């Protein structure tokens, strides 16, 4: 209970759990109920209910499976992001099909983890997507790099980014907005935008999400760095 005048009280991360397998859904909820900084505000056994709950409850994070009755994870992600952009969608699934991977990030998913992860990894992923980061399972990251990054020509086998460009890319990977990156670097927003354009061109990418996934797949930044 929060006491009057207590400014140090932690506001818990509000989570919606959508999973059509009851045992998995209940197990996930039990894991999260043991975390003092996370509270489960809703659950759903199908995609339609997941969207309705996300709209009604406005959770900070929605955990979705891919294959659910009614609406699949891709459709549900798209609807949730359209109707409640403030909710970060974290996919936790057993499937890593190429079509799903690309479609889910295009739909606005903030993270994609496989069900082989443990409880601590799940909790960490929730905290990170809530903080604005893009979280990708290593196996998914390698798949994404293959899907999204054009094959390198002989003269592109080594892509060189400057120290400043790497600093901008690291900010993107940490979920920072251009303005926040600019403040940290002591430069203008226009300068950050210019660096991003250069990064996209050199890596053959089209968006901040693709850039973050490319960096993750190549292990460019160490966890907690910066």
- For 78-91, what is the mean pLDDT? 94
Segments in the chain forming alpha helices (H): 22-33, 47-57, 73-83, 98-107, 119-130, 138-148, 163-173, 178-185, 189-203, 208-217
* Same domain for 139 and 189: no
Question: How many Å apart are CA 136 and CA 226, to the nearest integer?
Answer: 19
In a domain, 222, yes or no: no
In a domain, 213, yes or no: yes
Cross-strand pairs, 91: 64, 112
Could you tell me if 209 and 215 are in contact, meaning their C-beta atoms sit under 8 angstroms apart?
no
Q: 55 is in which domain, residue-wise?
A: 13-146
Question: How many Å apart are CA 166 and CA 90, to the nearest integer?
Answer: 26
* Same domain for 107 and 60: yes
Residue 86's pLDDT band (boundaries 50, 70, 90)? very high
Q: What is the pLDDT of residue 134?
A: 80
Could you tell me if 144 and 101 are in contact, meaning their C-beta atoms sit under 8 angstroms apart?
yes
In a domain, 4, yes or no: no
pTM, entire model = 0.68
Tokens coding 35? 């975390």
Give the CA distances from residue 106 to residues 27, 61, 148, in Å, rounded to whole numbers and listed in that order: 29, 18, 11
Q: What is the pLDDT of residue 155?
A: 39
């Amino acid at each position: 209970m929060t006491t009057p005048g207590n400014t140090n009280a932690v506001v818990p991360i509000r989570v919606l759990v959508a999973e059509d397998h009851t045992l998995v859904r209940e197990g996930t909820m039990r894991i999260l109920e043991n975390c003092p900084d996370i509270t489960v505000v809703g659950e759903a056994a199908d995609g339609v209910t997941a969207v309705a709950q996300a709209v009604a409850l406005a959770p900070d994070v929605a955990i979705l499976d891919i294959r659910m009755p009614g609406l699949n994870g891709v459709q549900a992600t798209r609807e949730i992001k359209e109707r409640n952009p403030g909710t970060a969608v974290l996919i936790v699934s057993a499937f890593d099909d190429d079509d799903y991977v690309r479609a889910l990030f295009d739909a606005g998913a903030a993270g994609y983890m496989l069900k082989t992860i443990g409880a601590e990894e799940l909790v960490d992923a929730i905290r990170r997507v809530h903080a604005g980061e893009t979280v990708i399972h290593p196996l998914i990251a390698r798949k994404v790099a293959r899907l999204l990054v054009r094959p390198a020509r002989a003269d592109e086998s080594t892509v060189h980014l400057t120290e400043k460009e790497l600093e901008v890319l690291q900010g993107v990977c940490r979920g920072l907005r251009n303005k926040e990156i600019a403040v940290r670097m002591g430069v203008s927003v226009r300068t950050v935008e210019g660096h991003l354009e250069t990064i996209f061109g050199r890596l053959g990418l089209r968006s901040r999400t693709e850039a973050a996934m490319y960096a993750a797949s190549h292990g460019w930044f160490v966890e907690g760095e910066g």
